[in-house]
Amino acid sequence: MTAITLERRDDYWLARFLAMGSPCELLVDSAERALIAQLADLAFGEAKRIEQKFSRYRDDNIVHRMHHNHGAPVEVDEETAKLLDYADLCYRLSDGLFDITSGVLRKVWKFDGSDHVPAQEDIAALLPRIGWNKVTWSKPYLTLPEGMEIDFGGIGKEYAVDKTAQLLTARSNVSMVVNFGGDLFVTGLRANGSPWRIGVDDPDASGAHALAQLQLARGGVATSGDARRFLLKDNIRYGHILNPTTGWPVRDAPRSVTVAAPTCVEAGMLTTFAMLQGKNAEAFLKEQAVQHWIVW
């Protein structure tokens, strides 16, 4: 049994596999099965590599070492260093709202559509373990205080999309779409000169109804927000984007934000920033002058 399925569509090949907890797709504008098999293997390999490297559930990767060094500095590799630099910039650009140390909040917040909103004391108990400002990042050494965690979940998938696209375009110059669970990158115009048509999903009817259609020749699209991951209590809807300084979900956040940008990472970060803006999400994205779709 193979992890990758290949399907021939009318004028392109589609490879599908599971990685990073999402259904992943690779669309290749070619009729050659051998080529897509090769490219799909590469894509699967790169997606799994990144998944395993930054997973917090493994005991053999950099993330595990970071979490179990008891406050002593850890030397990180080049790739991890770049990600930490990026996270650091995003922390500053967002005035602290984007924080890769906020992952510990998952211990009390389970967004399963129920009304189990955690108690303030439980949230407050975690706040001392959150704060990028408490971390010492002096390339290539990361010093993480005891009890704190690094969570690359907020960038990981989009990063994997862009890295995979880079790897595949180095191998072949056919036009492709790398789509990991709705975060995607289009590498170029198709052979017949036409762009790929991307549907922007309506979260209320996933797959059934498109909010808009984008014709993309090259670039990334990312979506933040998930209509299914929320809590509802006393008529208040709690979205799953958490404010790391309070430990509570961002108030009045949109249910879904989709952005199109030159890279998937940039698109993803802009959706996250927009969600963090709460009710000002629309104004924020308008001022950044990016193509966007918001569902409230």
Partner 1 sequence: MKALRLLALVPAFFLGACALEPLQPWDRDLLAQDQMQLVPHPVNEYISEHIYFSKEAASGGAGVGGGGCGCN
Partner 2 sequence: MQLTAPRRLRDSLTVATCSLLSLDAAHADFFDAKSLRNVDSAVLVYTEQDRVTVIEPVVQFKKELGDGEFLTVKFVYDAMSGATPNGATPTNTVQTFSGPSGQNSYTTAAHKLPLVSFEDTRVAVSLDWELPMSRGLRGQYNVNFSRETDYTSLGASASFLWDVNNELTTLTAGIAANLDQVSPTGGVPVGLSALSTTVAPENDRRVEREEAEGSEGGGDGGSKTKTGYDLLVGVTQVLTRRTLMQLNYSYGKSSGYLTDPYKIVSVINGTTGETLPVNSGGYLHEKRPDTRTRNALYWKTVYHLPEDVVHVSYRYYWDNWGIQSNTVDLTYRLQLGAHDSLEPHYRYYTQTAADFFTNSIVDGNTPNYASADLRLAALHSNTVGLRYAHALDSSSELGLGVDYMHQTGDAHPASAIGVQKNEALFTDLKTMSVTADFSMKF
What does the binding site for partner 1 look like in residue numbers (CB under 8 A)? 9-11, 14, 197, 199, 207-208, 210
Could you say whether residue 209 binds partner 2 (CB under 8 A)? yes
Distance CA 65, CA 194 (A): 47
Name the token pair of 69: 């060094």
- Reported as type and span, the H/E element at residue 294 is strand 291-295
- Least distance from partner 1 to the Cβ atom of residue 46, Å: 23
Work out which of 163, 238, 247, 256 binds partner 2, going by CB under 8 A: 163
Residue range at the interface with partner 2 (CB under 8 A); choices 29-37, 131-139, 162-170, 249-257: 162-170
SS3 assignment, position 45: helix
SS3 assignment, position 180: strand
- Least distance from partner 2 to the Cβ atom of residue 138, Å: 18
Query: Which residue type sits at 51?
Result: E
Q: Which of residues 176-205 bind partner 2 (CB under 8 A)?
A: 189, 192-195, 202, 204
Could you say whether residue 218 binds partner 2 (CB under 8 A)? yes
Could you say whether residue 252 binds partner 2 (CB under 8 A)? no
CA 114 to chain centre: 24
Distance CA 41, CA 243 (A): 38
- Least distance from partner 1 to the Cβ atom of residue 271, Å: 20
CB-based contact 255:296 (threshold 8 Å): yes
CB-based contact 196:215 (threshold 8 Å): yes
Name the token pair of 188: 């170029």
Backbone angles phi, psi at 246, to 5 degrees: -110, -25
In 3D, which of 63, 64, 19, 66 has the Cα closest to residue 45?
Answer: 19
| Cis before 249 (ω within 30) | no
Q: Which of residues 95-124 bind partner 2 (CB under 8 A)?
A: 95, 97
How many residues bind to partner 2 according to rule CB under 8 A? 54
Residue range at the interface with partner 2 (CB under 8 A); choices 103-111, 120-128, 142-150, 218-226: 218-226
Give the x/- contact pattern for partner 2 in 77-96, rule: CB under 8 A. -----xx-xx--xx--xxx-
Could you say whether residue 44 binds partner 2 (CB under 8 A)? no
Q: Which residues of 160-182 are buried (b: 16+ CB within 10 A; e: fewer)?
A: bbbbbbebbbeebebbbbbbbbb
Distance CA 256, CA 267 (A): 13
- Least distance from partner 2 to the Cβ atom of residue 2, Å: 26
* Rg, Å, the chain Cα set: 20
- Least distance from partner 2 to the Cβ atom of residue 293, Å: 7
Give the x/- contact pattern for partner 2 in 270-289, rule: CB under 8 A. x--x--xx--x--xx--xxx
Distance CA 157, CA 51 (A): 8
- Least distance from partner 1 to the Cβ atom of residue 182, Å: 11
SS3 assignment, position 146: coil
Could you say whether residue 68 binds partner 2 (CB under 8 A)? no
> How many Cβ atoms are within 10 Å of 31's Cβ, its own excluded?
12
- Least distance from partner 2 to the Cβ atom of residue 266, Å: 4
Could you say whether residue 53 binds partner 2 (CB under 8 A)? no
Contacting residues toward partner 2, per CB under 8 A: 82-83, 85-86, 89-90, 93-95, 97, 159, 162-163, 166, 189, 192-195, 202, 204, 208-220, 260-263, 265-266, 269-270, 273, 276-277, 280, 283-284, 287-291, 293
